[in-house]
Amino acid sequence: MTLMQRRTLGSHIFLTLFSIVMVYPILWWVGAAFKSNDEMSSPNLFPKVWLWSNFTDGWVALPKFTFTHFYMNSFELIAGVLITSVLSCSLVAFGFARLDFPLKNFWFSILMVTLMLPSQVTLVPQYIMFNTFGWINTYLPFYVPHALAGGIGGPFFIFLLIQFIRGLPKDLDESAKIDGCSWFGIYWRIILPLTKPALVTVAIYCFLWNWDDFFGHLLYINSVDKYTVGLALKLFVDSQSALPWGQLLAMSLVSIVPSLIIFFMAQRHFVDGIASGAVKG
């Protein structure tokens, strides 16, 4: 065996062992979702008796509401966020990429600075503002910032779309102008359809980040009837009774299913959007 072959073999062995270490918590999570409370402390990765009832019992375990209700709340929130974020971020990106206006470079610099601004810095001012508007315990603190090209990932989405739009030929704009198309018409009829890969990338990121945004949902949503799936999981924790670990882990496993479906269904567009935005500009 040559030196190169030994190095290659060693690299494969290291990567295999490292992969097992990384995957082990996920395998334990899947196995624990089928365990009883008595087996949770067992060193076995998978249970001796697979309790499928953890899923059916966990789905209806919470008082007054089933997880169907919480899923509908989550999809209602995410749908509004997706639509507003994709449209607003693409419109702002079109303006930066195609239009000339006063202080354009200055505002673009401000956009770049906000990419490095931690969300914790604006947390308290935002909460005070939304509370003054009477928006607490509604979904407006999520809809309105995204409608104004803000919210989670807004500056990143705008930057990604700017890079993509800059790679599109400007001859398309000139041809549309000759045909009497307005700037908004160029955005809506020409640019928006051509940016489909980047828009899908934005939509995937927006879905994943907002679906997993436990802290934001906890901060602005107070009543149980408006809880999302992530908030519903914390209702299993009751200091007055034993924690049903199997049901909790089963429901947490179910909670990631939409994210996995969305990612794998749109994976090709996701990769195309990232690659195109990276090389153009």
Q: What is the pLDDT of residues 223-265, one digit of tens each?
A: 999 999 999 998 888 755 678 889 999 999 999 999 888 888 8
192 φ, ψ (degrees, to nearest 5)? -60, -45
Domain that holds residue 16: 3-58
Are 161 and 43 found together in one domain?
no
Last residue of a domain, one of 25, 43, 58: 58
Q: Take residue 8 and report the two structure tokens written for it.
A: 């290659």
Are 132 and 12 found together in one domain?
no
Are 17 and 132 found together in one domain?
no
Tell me the average pLDDT of the chain.
Answer: 87
Are 115 and 40 found together in one domain?
no
- 115-144 per-position pLDDT tens digit: 888 888 888 999 999 999 999 999 999 999
Burial state string for 50-87 with b = 16 or more CB within 10 A and e = fewer than 16: ebeebbeebbebbeeeebebbbebbeebbebbbebbbb
Q: Take residue 177 and report the two structure tokens written for it.
A: 């102008």
